Structure 1
Amino acid sequence: MNIDATKIQGGITLIRLAGRMDVEGTSAIETRFTAHAVSDGAAVVLDMAGVDFLSSYGIRALMLVAKALRQRGGAMALMCPQDAVRKVLETSGVDQLIPLGDSLSEAKAALGS
């Protein structure tokens, strides 16, 4: 699993993930993911385009980071998940708790809602 974080316009942290968000993949990036998301700012967009598998362990990591951000007055939105990952997000109800956009502009707009 790979992770890359950059600041974009509006002080938003854009985090790009690539690989499998299973136990092994999520464990490999969980500390860095949490550190980037929580310490870099209150607004985070998580680019899921490179994630080709999402397990319950990956869902747990997403929910923990979203909760930590909310406790600090921040927010997180997901963007561009592959079809299989989108299905997992929707079936598990994660999309009801963390906004989901099909583009960066949609994800950024969801942060304001």
Structure 2
Amino acid sequence: MWEEIQGRFNLQEEWHKAVIFKQLGSLWRAGKSRLVSQVRAAKTAAERLKLKPSNVPSIQVWNTWVRSKTTSSFTEISNRYRELRKNQIPHTTSRKGMIRLAYDMKKKESRPKKSE
């Protein structure tokens, strides 16, 4: 696979390979996640069948995958992780990190205040 990518693009450095495969993995997971969301939103089997990508070899393989993504256990786990992701706090410490930020805040507090 890497040789085919190198043949199409001018990628010589070793770090190119790591970056490309990291991005490929991210795109693969995002596409799969979108497809699962569409499958879960579809109400009928006919609607789900219309969502079948062209690279899936047979309808039987597709139906097996759809069944695995619509089971109650999968839905329960998926909903639990959705709730966990909703409760995440965004990173707001800039590029310093927590230790340097705390140090700077203490340093700022210890400065004598100007009298008015």
Task: Please say which structure displays the higher CA radius of gyration.
Answer: 2
Question: Normalising by structure 2, what TM-score?
Answer: 0.24
More strand by share: 1
Q: Which has the higher contact order (CA 8 A, sep 6+)?
A: 1
